[in-house]
Homo-oligomer: A and B are copies of this chain.
Amino acid sequence: MHVINPSWIAIDWGTTNLRVWAMGPDNQVLDHKGSTDGMGSLEREGFEPALLRLVAPWLADDKTTPAVACGMVGARQGWIEAPYCAVPCAPIDATFCAAPVSDKRISVQIVPGLSQLDPADVMRGEETQIAGLMAALDITDGILCLPGTHTKWVAVESGIVNRFLTVMTGELFALLSKQSVLRHGMAQEGWDDAAFTLGLETALDNPAGLTANLFALRAEGLLKGLPPQSARARLSGLLMGIELSGTKTYWQKAAKVHLIGDGTLSRLYAKALAHRSVDVQIHDADRITLAGLCNAYQRYKDTAQ
């Protein structure tokens, strides 16, 4: 059996998933594992055992392997609360927060999230992706969009996160498509590009009409036999449209928007932004997250010395 002996361990610990990478001395990936022990399903005392279930085979008895973690693991309901760093600041700037580990073979540093006072906003995990993108592309300026349940829009200038904005588009789509009256006559899969575009343009032209345009999906199903996959795509377009209408200060004058996230969702954002003639570049979220954790580990080493 080949023994994995990492220099350090990278951890992405979100609400629903835990993912770990065994990293070599030159940041090469030696091994990778994951589990569904997300922060949302763990009590405080469950974090260390959940981590050890994955990484124990990588640990040596005669040394302490350092690990760096990002994500909701640092939330108030997580392993230990890592206080937010307030913008404007670098994406990874504040002192890391040491998690309370009893096993001597590993130490865990948690990357703090970012906060913004006005308008009030928070992120945990995305700050690491922002740092990862900047490191991977060797850039200090850019507009970023990180699609997800709660999509983040971020403006970075001279290496500093100046402002960011969280929109609930993904969660609204899930609630409306699965739990509202719109679930009748709505497919849970399938797509219709023209319907997506129609919804997008409708909401961009008239964001105030959103709540009425939502019900119209149900009415068109009853009166005109709107196909279920068209209803789904138009709902997505309507919600994307009001998001884009409300985030113009981010994308409207941007030379390019960097999209970091799940492939399908990122391509949807790319399509929507293309309708407004905005250039986009899609980045693989896993690669960027890992680049950010490498960046965080480097900072940790630099400050520890």
Which A residues are within 8 Å of any B CB, using their own CB? 76, 84, 115-117, 119-122, 150, 165-169, 171-172, 175-176, 179-181, 206-216, 218-220, 222-224, 239, 242-243, 245-248
Q: Compute how far the CA of A175 lies from the CA of B172 in the bound complex, rounded to whole angstroms.
A: 9
Q: Compute how far the CA of A214 lies from the CA of B207 in the bound complex, rounded to whole angstroms.
A: 15
- Given the interface pairs A216-B119, A216-B120, the reply to whether A211 lies near B167 with Cβ below 8 Å is yes
Q: Compute how far the CA of A220 lies from the CA of B117 in the bound complex, rounded to whole angstroms.
A: 8
Q: How far is the CB of A264 from chain B (nearest CB, A)?
A: 20
Asked if A224 and B120 sit within 8 Å, CB to CB, the answer is yes
Q: Please give, as numbers and ranges, the residues of chain B lying within 8 Å of A215 by CB-CB distance.
A: 121, 150, 166-168
Residue of B nearest to A167 (CB): B211
Cβ 8 A contact of A245, one of B208, B216, B243:
B208
Copies of this chain present: 2
Q: Please give, as numbers and ranges, the residues of chain B lying within 8 Å of A179 by CB-CB distance.
A: 175, 179
- Given the interface pairs A211-B243, A212-B119, A222-B122, the reply to whether A180 lies near B175 with Cβ below 8 Å is yes
Residue of B nearest to A152 (CB): B215
Q: Compute how far the CA of A248 lies from the CA of B206 in the bound complex, rounded to whole angstroms.
A: 12
Q: Please give, as numbers and ranges, the residues of chain B lying within 8 Å of A116 by CB-CB distance.
A: 219
Asked if A210 and B212 sit within 8 Å, CB to CB, the answer is no
Cβ 8 A contact of A122, one of B117, B209, B219:
B219
Q: Compute how far the CA of A115 lies from the CA of B219 in the bound complex, rounded to whole angstroms.
A: 8
Q: Please give, as numbers and ranges, the residues of chain B lying within 8 Å of A206 by CB-CB distance.
A: 246
Residue of B nearest to A210 (CB): B242
Residue of B nearest to A77 (CB): B184
Could you list 14 A-B pairs, sorted by A, with CB under 8 Å?
A119-B212, A119-B213, A119-B219, A120-B224, A121-B219, A122-B219, A122-B222, A150-B181, A166-B216, A168-B181, A169-B211, A171-B180, A208-B245, A212-B247
Asked if B175 and A212 sit within 8 Å, CB to CB, the answer is no
Asked if A219 and B175 sit within 8 Å, CB to CB, the answer is no
Asked if B220 and A120 sit within 8 Å, CB to CB, the answer is yes
Q: Please give, as numbers and ranges, the residues of chain B lying within 8 Å of A117 by CB-CB distance.
A: 223-224
Q: Please give, as numbers and ranges, the residues of chain B lying within 8 Å of A120 by CB-CB distance.
A: 216, 219-220, 223-224
Q: Please give, as numbers and ranges, the residues of chain B lying within 8 Å of A216 by CB-CB distance.
A: 119-121, 166
Residue of B nearest to A166 (CB): B215
Q: Please give, as numbers and ranges, the residues of chain B lying within 8 Å of A247 by CB-CB distance.
A: 212
Q: Compute how far the CA of A207 lies from the CA of B211 in the bound complex, rounded to whole angstroms.
A: 11
Residue of B nearest to A75 (CB): B222
Q: Compute how far the CA of A212 lies from the CA of B167 in the bound complex, rounded to whole angstroms.
A: 4
Name the 4 nearest CB pairs between A and B, nearest first: A208-B245, A120-B219, A207-B208, A208-B246
